[in-house]
Structure 1
């Protein structure tokens, strides 16, 4: 059997309107074209669907049985096509994002809110995790994409640049560093340092050593999350380093921050995705929105904004 959608639509329109004239007008075809489609459908099914001996449209017994199925198939297809159109037009969908815990509680909530105000039917789900778990989540297919600092990629992973930010030192307002207009790494490393365990500290130490071999990053505490490090700074256990996007977690007057110079070390963040996986329109739309929104942030255009 070779049944086409045009044939089914012609048959359903004929039954619903009750005449060839009304059905042809509804489908914007001639009556002869409509009659031809009905005959093709009957030939394809090898049955008679319409009784042609009466002045009005009369279905055969088989036609009566076939009509509900034909109407249901078209309704289901039209619903599916509308759903696809909604997805393409960012009217619906789910976006799953893996992000470092600090970014997930500072930068991203406002971004998600702004995006969903424009696309209210799209659900954005954040997976907050340690920095080193972001790429793993992407590669395992647990999320649509991940956001994190530059890392070595596998052949199956792509990276789209998001922003590039310098490290800042964070310390109490009564700390000796607060009296300096310009804070260097040498200044900061003279005090007990709280850092993140793992790749964060290893990479930062390597960057410092490459420029100033005499500078050694030897943290007195290494923790898993930046929020913990910031809380320890508030408690007077030392100072820490972070990227400017995380400063929004600090209430006004609680702590101070300075861009670290001599040398200025920055981190480029990327949007990571699987190379062999096409992002859904909703996920691709959020990626584009995120890139544009980050360009508008003061800490992207003017990283010195946290300098004194």
Structure 2
């Protein structure tokens, strides 16, 4: 049994099909089938149930799959650490970044990082925070940037900055005359929120429920600027992080603080506790924290 066979086995399980797995692995389907039969013969167990069109794991196969993934992850971490020591400020890092965060604080981070570390390739994948967590857990990205709180039993969290989320209303809205509002004041409002892939969506819903009511969500979007435009047309109210609104110039909207400040906007890095943190990952984390601190 070798690493190649483990990779083949894991790909078959994920695709649930020999043909699709073989295509992804760039080998022939008969060769892949033969490799799996040889592996099962060597281990003297049946790992795969081939009785249906969709490949399934046997009971022993499920146990083997968990261990195989752990071994493969450990092998990849070992390779990364060896490469890391030999290359230092060379390599690449893949970062999952929600658009609502990227547009507000990461423009300067990305441009200055490229200038300071031209030999490090930076790949940005834009997704909502929920998808960032999913991609990090599955090894599709190296780092995630999310809004706290997070599950710190599963992930390591490194704070970047803290601000607050605020209420955005039409300038003729009755609440526009107030210096501040509470969550309870919004019980009768129609909400325009970022969709469920964003942590802020879940935070707003939770705080409304804590205040004794279920928010009336009229519309959801992945585009914060679209929500602002809807508010400007007096279609409802929204809650957004204050930093992203600093660049908005629209006289039809009014921004109001929420008190008590229950909707803090805490942004930080998310790391998989099972993953090796490479030198280039540390470089990007340190650069980001320093750059954001100088902008505050």
Q: TM-score range by the shorter chain?
A: 0.5 to 0.7
Structure 2 CA distance for partners of 1:86 and 1:250, relative to 1, 3 Å: farther
Task: Please say if residues 87 and 282 of structure 1, whose CA atoms lie closer than 8 Å, have aligned partners that are also in contact.
Answer: no
Partner of 1:110: 108
1:205 matched to 2:198? The reply is no
Structure 2 CA distance for partners of 1:232 and 1:252, relative to 1, 3 Å: closer
Structure 2 CA distance for partners of 1:86 and 1:118, relative to 1, 3 Å: farther
1:248 Cα shift? Answer: 4.1
Q: What is the distance in 1 between the residues matched to 2:138 and 2:87? A: 24
Partner of 1:146: 144
Partner of 1:133: 131
Alpha-carbon displacement from aligned partner over 1:127-179 (angstroms, at most 9, x marks no partner):
11122101011111111100112355375532222333322012334444332
1:233 Cα shift? Answer: 1.9
Task: Please say if residues 185 and 263 of structure 1, whose CA atoms lie closer than 8 Å, have aligned partners that are also in contact.
Answer: no
Structure 2 CA distance for partners of 1:120 and 1:189, relative to 1, 3 Å: farther
Task: Please say if residues 103 and 245 of structure 1, whose CA atoms lie closer than 8 Å, have aligned partners that are also in contact.
Answer: no
Partner of 1:277: 275
Return the match for 1:120 from 113, 118, 135.
118
1:203 Cα shift? Answer: 3.3
SS of the residue corresponding to residue 233 of structure 1 reads helix
Partner of 1:194: 192
> 1:2-81, aligned counterparts within 5 Å?
none
Structure 2 CA distance for partners of 1:250 and 1:296, relative to 1, 3 Å: same
Structure 1 residue runs of 5 or longer lacking an equivalent are 1-82, 299-308
1:262 Cα shift? Answer: 3.8
Q: What is the distance in 2 between the residues matched to 1:167 and 1:216? A: 19
Task: Please say if residues 164 and 261 of structure 2, whose CA atoms lie closer than 8 Å, have aligned partners that are also in contact.
Answer: no
More displaced 10-residue stretch of structure 1: 247-256 or 113-122:
247-256
Structure 2 CA distance for partners of 1:252 and 1:130, relative to 1, 3 Å: same
Structure 2 residue runs of 5 or longer lacking an equivalent are 1-82
Q: What is the distance in 1 between the residues matched to 2:133 and 2:85? A: 31
1:86 Cα shift? Answer: 8.2
Return the match for 2:259 from 261, 274, 284.
261
Q: What is the distance in 2 between the residues matched to 1:247 and 1:277? A: 35
Structure 2 CA distance for partners of 1:263 and 1:118, relative to 1, 3 Å: closer
* RMSD of aligned Cα (Å): 2.8
Partner of 2:98: 100
Q: What is the distance in 2 between the residues matched to 1:216 and 1:156? A: 29
Alpha-carbon displacement from aligned partner over 1:261-294 (angstroms, at most 9, x marks no partner):
1453324333111222222222211111222233
Structure 2 CA distance for partners of 1:104 and 1:157, relative to 1, 3 Å: same
Partner of 1:219: 217
1:219 Cα shift? Answer: 1.8
Return the match for 1:165 from 163, 166, 174.
163
Structure 2 CA distance for partners of 1:84 and 1:158, relative to 1, 3 Å: closer
Structure 1 or 2, whichever has the larger Rg, is: 1
Partner of 2:249: 251
Q: When the two structures are superposed, what TM-score results if normalisation uses the length of structure 2?
A: 0.61
SS of the residue corresponding to residue 287 of structure 2 reads helix
Aligned residues: 212
1:252 Cα shift? Answer: 5.8
